[in-house]
Structure 1
Amino acid sequence: MSKSGSSVVGIAVFTADDNAITLVIEIEDVSPGLHAVHIHKTGDCCSDDAKSAGGHWNPTNEPHGKWGVPPFHSGDIGNINVGSDGVGRLELTAKDRWSIGGSPETNILGKAIIVHAGEDDFTSQPSGAAGKRVGCGVIALE
């Protein structure tokens, strides 16, 4: 869903295979450049600014950071690079951090995936100074 007055559209698909979860996210109608993508703790995209999704999903209470470089939130996906055509794609595989229907510490179901207006700087606390939430979707089983 587009948020904060944007026209972003996209899809995020999570698949489970060999004890890992792979995310493929594709977005379009977004301004060129880097845009932060995070998993947020509440699967609620009802508000116009997507703040109903709450903060980053952080079941391990770690500082915000860059995926794969500890410490980082389980919801710290990173930046998606959007080309001059307004289209971007990101793929990420997570082992141990995510599950589909597993323990509360790893289960991604019922969370929200958020695309931000700006890029994640990977250092500003608690969320990487990524700006407005321009896209929001709830993670659910098909």
Structure 2
Amino acid sequence: MLNPTAGQKANGLVRMAQEGDRVVVRARVSGLTPNSEHGFHVHEKGDCSAPDASSAGEHLNPQGKPHGAPHADHHAGDLPSLKADAAGVAATSFEVKGTLLGAGAADLMGKALVVHADPDDYMTQPSGNSGKRIACGVIASPVKPGGLGGNAEGSKTIPKQM
């Protein structure tokens, strides 16, 4: 679950599933500025307790790489930007290659997902100049089997539509 930071409206649900050597991500975020783009990143600490989500730390970057677009050399936490429609809703699906939902330094489990107010330029170091943090959520495992996919294999599959 993504919850708004202080004074913001952005919120949503992100579902992740391990498929081989990649993580499939499906997200639906509302309360965004209509017809806009928003930076979307995994941050190093699974802590959204600060009113501005600064407690989540910086982008996940255990390999010490530069900030960049997902198709180029980049931080482990650099994700594709969210693109909101005219109603301020962004729905997206993508894959993150080479990351696992485990407990290691480069894994996503236990880290924070952050939505930013502005687009990510994928160039400015170290964060892409994507502005303040408007929503934050901690990446956690499903509460019970079937929690993601609605079936006995719930943690292995996720619905294709959100």
* TM-score, normalising length: structure 1: 0.94
SS where residue 126 of structure 2 aligns? coil
- For residues 92 and 50 of structure 1, the distance between their equivalents in structure 2, rounded to whole angstroms, comes to 24
Identity %: 34
Aligned residue-pair number: 139
Structure 1 equivalent of residue 115 of structure 2:
115
Equivalence map 1:23-102=2 (5 Å): 23-32=25-34, 33-70=36-73, 72-96=74-98, 98-101=99-102
Q: Which residue of 2 aligns with 1:3?
A: 5
Aligned to 1:141: 141
Partner of 1:125: 125
Per the TM alignment, residue 18 of structure 1 is displaced from its structure 2 partner at its CA by 2.5
Shift of 1:26: 0.8
Structure with more strand by fraction: 1
> Runs of 5+ in structure 1 lacking a partner?
none
Question: CA separation in 2, counterparts of 1:95 and 1:121?
Answer: 21
Counterpart CA distance in 2 for 1:123 and 1:101 is: 29
The Cα shift of 1:95 comes to: 2.1
Q: Secondary structure at the match of 1:77?
A: coil
Report Cα offsets for 1:72-131 as digits up to 9, x if no partner. 0010002110011111012221221x10115x2431111000000000000000000000
Unaligned runs of 5+ in 2: 143-162
- Distance across 2 between alignment mates of 1:110 and 1:14: 13
CA apart distance, 1:25? 1.2
TM-score (norm 2): 0.82
Q: Partner residue of 2:16?
A: 14
* Structure whose CA Rg is larger: 2
Give the Cα–Cα distance (whole angstroms) in 2 for the partners of residues 77 and 124 of structure 1.
15
